[in-house]
Amino acid sequence: MSEFAIELRDVVKKFITPEGNELAAVNHVTMQIKNGEFFSMLGSSGCGKTTSLRMIAGFEWPTEGEVYIDGELQGRKPPFLRPVNTVFQSYALFQHLTVFQNVAFGLEMEHTSKNDSRRRVGEALEMVRLTGMDKRYPKQLSGGQQQRVALARALVKRPKVLLLDEPLGALDLKLRKEMQLELKSLQKEVGITFIYVTHDQGEALTMSDRIAVMSFGKVLQMGPAVEIYERPANRFVADFIGESNFLDGSVKSVKDGQAVVYISAWGQELTGIVTSKVNVGDEVAISIRPEKIRLSDQSTPNAISLDGTVVNSTYIGSDTHIYLDVRGQRLKVWEQNRVSTLDPRAYYQNGQKIQLSLVPENTLVLPKE
Amino acid sequence: MFKRLRESKSAQGTLLIIPTLIFMVGMLIIPLLLTTVVSFGHPNANGGVTYTFSLDNYIRLLGFTNDCPPGIKTCFTTLYLGILWRSLTLGFNTTVLDILLAFPLAYFIARIHPKWRDTLLFLVLVPMWTNFVIRVYAWMMILREQGVINSLLGWTAGLLHVPFKPLGMIYTPGAVLVGMVYEFLPFMILPIYTSLEKIDNSLYEAAADLGASPFRTFLRVTLPLAMPGIVAGTILVFVPVMGTFIVSDLLGGAQVILIGNLIQRQFLDARDPTFGSAVSLAMMAMTIVATYFYTRKFGFGEEIVV
């Protein structure tokens, strides 16, 4: 057994657009996905995540580069000969077959014996909590249940790798959250490598061991959720994952993983953590997450205090979102509502003068690209 | 009254079907009842009908006849049952051939890039702009002794200096079959296309993903999901083939007599509308029974496959 369940080596996939231009949907992507990992490909539509998944499944073949499954070169092997299974975004259930027949379909293709097949389908349906539904047709199930059938149908084959193409996209928010946790624990239970394609960053952060953030056919950053969120490789990733305040500046000095950046709009220097290599003189972006700005008078030793005015504040239940004007720059700050009160002053007023403090450990210095 | 109409969905529905209802009662139900009444009568000397209640026409259809060799009162002929059987088998063969021809084409159109689909569907329908009879005549031109095929073969034989005797293609059961298959092919293509077109590409991918080879995908996914179209096409082809007389008239000559021809001759040549009516009703009964058993097994093809 290979160390990697899936390996993409310098994979390129080109398509011809309707206008006749060549487009690299996947542009020199290299990924190594370990056995038993919950791996997500995250990006907006057209970033190449689904194409990458389809190349692993065998629905597409790379224009250049190679796909390996369990150390084995796939080349132009058709999907039905690959030891991976897919959960489709549309579920792609067979409407003319019952739940049982849908789940048994893959076993039937392997010529599994009737008894074995019945037992394994039963187990799979139990795993996705659909016991007793086996005689129903997909049309008689809710969206969430259909989703589970699709999952059971793929898992019953005991694939080396399970590929999931935005499987929760069609579900409502609450069900989606439930299914996220369920999928995650299911993955731990069966120990199969999951590759999960999504455009929903919350989903990726919740479930994944590692995330590949993709854009325009390239992988911008690959790593665990905490790394992607707390140490984004560049401005794009910081912007795509979560929310952030950005300030333009140029690098004055770099030392010990920190850089001093001159913010021309403020005429002030800020110190922050360097995540990717930057050089003195580089034009960079300062990124500060809105929940990491403190609105208070009690400034910490190395903090920089600034005066601001509240432009707008929105109460959203657990938090208050405060939009500030700080010397001509807009900053957003999320404050947790830690005290239960009806007093409007607790939630900030428009026009209110306020002091905020920025500390270097919450300030990131990011390359613009 | 208008108030009731505004408020009642069922009243609105009734109003909507009234024109069709009037038409169907006047043009189908009443003629059908008349045909039934006539089928129990006897023809009289001046080509009219003497109304009786007699089953003679049906007994005759089964093959019992008084027109026997001397000394025998009643004897049996397979003449009419043979015609019924021939019509049934022709209907069956035409339908099967149409399915075999239509399926690959319908599949091709359903799977091709959408920008070509309309053009191809249009081409399927183009022959329908020509009159049915004219299309049969075209087949006469192709199949007859000095027709297109024989001319081409003769010309080739001439070039190769081999003796050539024109092929006798027209006025054979085969010619009738070819004509029928051709005439009704679009009625098979369109419903099959409709059901194939509804099959989402992800279903083919899912089947492949689960380990099904293209052949097994066809058997387990494509074919079952295309069944509604095949059923609808079968009804659209089988039923009219059973009744058409033009094709067998022009391409079959006196060799191939079908129920349609038998009925037509009773009304126009033999001047016996009573026997013609009995044959008509027998044909209808046969078609209904065949369709009933068929649809009981396969449904009406009305299911929408999502």
Cα R_g (chain B), whole angstroms = 25
Crossing angle (nearest 10°) for helices B173-197 and B114-125: 150
Are B186 and B125 contacting, i.e. CB atoms less than 8 angstroms apart?
A: yes
Supply the pLDDT for residue B152.
Answer: 93
Residues B212-228 pLDDT 10s: 999 999 999 999 999 99
Kindly state the DSSP code that residue B50 receives in the 8-state scheme. E
For residue B304, what pLDDT band results from cuts at 50, 70 and 90? very low
Residues 90-119 of A with CB under 8 A from B: 90, 92-96, 105-106, 108-110
**Mean pLDDT throughout B199-216?**
95
Distances from the Cα of B268 to the Cαs of A226, B47, B248, B265, B272, in angstroms?
91, 10, 16, 5, 8
Decide if A79 and B203 are in contact by the 8 Å CB cutoff. no
Residues A262-305 pLDDT 10s: 999 999 999 999 999 999 999 999 999 999 998 875 556 778 88
Bridge partners, residue A211, by sequence:
A40, A223
The identity of residue A254, as a single letter, is: V
Per residue, the 3-state secondary structure of chain A, as one string, reads CCCEEEEEEEEEEEEECCCCCEEEEEEEEEEEEECCCEEEEECCCCCCHHHHHHHHHCCCCCCEEEEEECCEECCCCCHHHCCEEEECCCCCCCCCCCHHHHHHHHHHHCCCCHHHHHHHHHHHHHHCCCCCCCCCCHHHCCHHHHHHHHHHHHHCCCCCEEEEECCCCCCCHHHHHHHHHHHHHHHHHHCCEEEEEECCHHHHHHHCCEEEEEECCEEEEEECHHHHHHCCCCHHHHHHCCCCEEEEEEEEEEECCEEEEEECCCCEEEEEEECCCCCCCCEEEEEECHHHCEECCCCCCCCEEEEEEEEEEEECCCEEEEEEEECCEEEEEEEECCCCCCCHHHHCCCCCEEEEEECHHHCEEEECC
Cα of A325 vs its chain's centroid, Å: 31
Task: Give CA–CA dist B238/B298, Å, rounded.
Answer: 15
Decide if A94 and B208 are in contact by the 8 Å CB cutoff. no
Supply the pLDDT for residue B279.
Answer: 94
Least reliable range by pLDDT among A47-61, B38-52, B130-144: B38-52
Residues A58-68 pLDDT 10s: 999 999 999 99
Token output for A326: 């700080």
Q: What is the ipTM of this complex?
A: 0.84
Supply the pLDDT for residue A299.
Answer: 55
Task: Give CA–CA dist A128/A182, Å, rounded.
Answer: 9
Reduce the DSSP state of residue B204 to 3 states and report it.
helix
A chain contacts of residue B211, beta-carbon cutoff 8 Å: 80, 106, 109-110, 157
Per the document, the length of chain A is 369
Decide if B208 and A58 are in contact by the 8 Å CB cutoff. yes
A chain contacts of residue B208, beta-carbon cutoff 8 Å: 58-59, 78-80
DSSP B110-146: HHS-HHHHHHHHHHHHGGGGS-HHHHHHHHHHHHSTT
Distance from CA of B201 to the nearest CA of A (A): 9
Distance from CA of A120 to the nearest CA of B (A): 15
Nearest residue in chain B measured CA to CA from A86: B209
Residues A84-97 pLDDT 10s: 999 999 999 999 99
Question: Following CA atoms B249, B253, B258, B264 in sequence, which dihedral angle do they give, to the nearest 10 degrees?
Answer: 50
Token output for A162: 């399970």
B198 close to A (CB below 8 A): no
User: Is residue B2 pLDDT above 90, yes or no?
Assistant: no
Are A275 and A226 contacting, i.e. CB atoms less than 8 angstroms apart?
A: no
Least reliable range by pLDDT among A349-353, B108-112, B186-190: A349-353
What are the residues whose beta carbons fall under 8 Å from the beta carbon of B298, sequence distance 6 or more?
B227, B230, B231
Picking from B203, B209, B213, the nearest residue to A57 by CB comes out as B209
Q: What angle do CA B281, B287, B290 make, to 5 degrees?
A: 140
A chain contacts of residue B225, beta-carbon cutoff 8 Å: 95-96
Supply the pLDDT for residue B306.
Answer: 33
Q: Which CATH number fits domain B82-298: 1.10.3720.10, 1.10.10.10, 3.30.460.80, 3.40.50.1370?
A: 1.10.3720.10
Query: Rounded to a whole number, what is the distance in angstroms from the first to the last CA of chain A?
Result: 38
Supply the pLDDT for residue B159.
Answer: 92
Decide if B200 and A105 are in contact by the 8 Å CB cutoff. no
Reduce the DSSP state of residue B185 to 3 states and report it.
helix
Supply the pLDDT for residue A297.
Answer: 56
Q: Would the CA dihedral through A129, A131, A132, A135 be positive or negative?
A: positive
Distance from CA of A178 to the nearest CA of B (A): 25
For residue A346, what pLDDT band results from cuts at 50, 70 and 90? confident
**Which H or E element spans position B43?**
strand B42-43
Bridge partners, residue A32, by sequence:
A7
Burial class (CB in 10 A: 0-12, 13-18, 19+), B212: buried
Kindly state the DSSP code that residue B305 receives in the 8-state scheme. -
* pTM for this prediction: 0.82
A chain contacts of residue B305, beta-carbon cutoff 8 Å: 95-96
Residues B127-153 pLDDT 10s: 889 999 999 999 999 999 889 999 999
Token output for A59: 């629905």
Cα of B258 vs its chain's centroid, Å: 12
Q: How many CB pairs under 8 A join A and B?
A: 63
